[in-house]
Amino acid sequence: MPTLKELARRPNPLTGGHSACAGCGFPQAVRLVLMSIEEPVVVAGATGCMEVTTTTYPNTAWTVPFIHNAFENAGATISGVEAAYRALRRRGKIDREIRFVAFGGDGGTYDIGLQSLSGAMERGHRFLYVCYDNQAYMNTGIQRSSATPYGASTTTSPAGEAVPGKIQRRKDLTAIMAAHGIPYVAQSTIAHWQDLTRKVKRAMEVDGPAFINVLAPCRLGWGTDPAMTIRVAELAAETCAWPLYEVDHGQWRVTYVPKQKLPVEEYLRPQERFRHVFQDKSGQLLAAIQRDVDEQWEALLAKAGQSVDGKAAARA
């Protein structure tokens, strides 16, 4: 695994000068992922914040080959490119290793692009799909997506007297990808660079499709201080609201267990989208969110056969 200094010396796949918001999480996700790959890489990007802010015609912030596709078909695009590459290698027209990576936000991954992604995974193409998960349709007005967590306020699930923000639990897309039986699936954040780069390296090693879900806070949609982006992502893991884990050839493993699991309010409080949670004098909404986080964390540990200290737990 490369050190931070080694990563910093590698060519930057995404230059400065793009128009992403100050404090936006996706540029860190893109750089960490692509700078962790030593071979030449081809990237496909679904329509969304990433594409809009980095490819304003006639300019581009990408220094690697980049294919812009529609909101719904990043999986199909990158699998088609990978299939063409394999055909050219068989014919002797290409003689070097090339890697293939697709990026999509949660709108283009959890929702609109799920069918395309699922098909590509089932067919077994060798590529890595990275979801930069900011938990809503941020590019089109901060509408809720199936990645939006319970209780979050968005423009289409506004918190008010009738409803306390989004009333559904977020879809567990990482587990859905693991259910495809693909070689490698993982979940990380932009704050945990060692965890993320190690998982990208492992994804490049497996022979087949891989998926990594990366929490990338949106300072606009989450209502956070731009300087707090990394810290908020850290708090997501420290509270276990966003656990870090991997599924390597069917084996589940939690890759980060907090020394002291923080209450979820530590993660929610810096975010304006959860402001109403702390205005609820009954405390029932916060208690419901905490209960949901605890249940999912305990279920994940049980699935991985680990205890709270990160060691293997005794099985009945």
Concatenating the DSSP letter of every residue in the chain gives ---HHHHHHSPPSB-S---PPTT-SHHHHHHHHHHT--S-EEEEEETTHHHHHH--TT---BSS-EEEE-TT-HHHHHHHHHHHHHHHHHTTS--S--EEEEEEEHIIIIITTHHHHHHHHHHT---EEEEEE-SSBTTTT-B--TTSPTT---SSS-BSSS-BS--SPPP-HHHHHHTTT-SEEEEEETT-HHHHHHHHHHHHHSSS-EEEEEE---HHHHT--GGGHHHHHHHHHHTTSS-EEEEETTEEEEEE--SSPPPTHHHHTT-GGGGGGGG-TT-HHHHHHHHHHHHHHHHHHHHHTB-TTSSBPPP-
What per-residue confidence (pLDDT) applies to 312? 59
Is the CB of residue 27 less than 8 Å from the CB of residue 14?
A: yes
Question: Looking at residues 177-191, what average pLDDT do you find?
Answer: 98
pLDDT for the residue numbered 295: 97
Q: Which CATH number fits domain 4-304: 3.90.1150.10, 3.40.50.970, 3.40.50.12160, 3.40.50.300?
A: 3.40.50.970
* pLDDT-based confidence at residue 309 (cuts at 50, 70, 90): low
More confident residue, 9 or 271: 271
% of the chain with per-residue pLDDT over 70: 97
- Can you tell me the mean pLDDT for 205-230? 97
Count the Cβ atoms, other than its own, within 10 Å of residue 252: 18
Give the model confidence (pLDDT) of 249-302 as tens digits: 999 999 999 999 999 999 999 999 999 999 998 999 999 999 999 999 999 999
Examine the pLDDT at 245 and tell me if it is beyond 70: yes
User: What pLDDT band is residue 6 in, cutting at 50, 70 and 90?
Assistant: confident
Instruction: Write down the domain spans for the chain.
Output: 4-304
14-40 per-position pLDDT tens digit: 998 899 999 999 999 999 999 999 999
Query: What are the CB-based long-range contacts (under 8 Å, 24+) for 309-312?
Result: 309/257, 310/254, 310/257
- Least confident range from 89-93, 159-163, 181-185, 244-248: namely 159-163
User: What pLDDT, on a 0 to 100 scale, did the predictor assign at position 316?
Assistant: 34
* pTM of the complete model: 0.96
pLDDT tier at 314, thresholds 50, 70, 90: very low
Mean pLDDT, rounded, of the chain: 95
Task: Summarize the confidence of residues 161-190 as an average pLDDT.
Answer: 96
pLDDT computed for residue 195 by the predictor: 98
- Looking at residues 131-151, what average pLDDT do you find? 97
Q: Tokens for 48, please give them.
A: 């969304």
Q: What is the pLDDT of residue 129?
A: 98
Q: Which pLDDT band, with edges at 50, 70 and 90, does 305 fall under?
A: very high
pLDDT digits (tens, 9 = 90+) for 112-130: 999 999 999 999 999 999 9
DSSP string for 18-50: --PPTT-SHHHHHHHHHHT--S-EEEEEETTHH
Q: State pLDDT tens for residues 47-90.
A: 999 999 999 989 999 999 999 999 999 999 999 999 999 999 99
**Could you tell me which of 81, 71, 77, 78 has the C-alpha nearest to residue 106?**
71
pLDDT of 166:
97
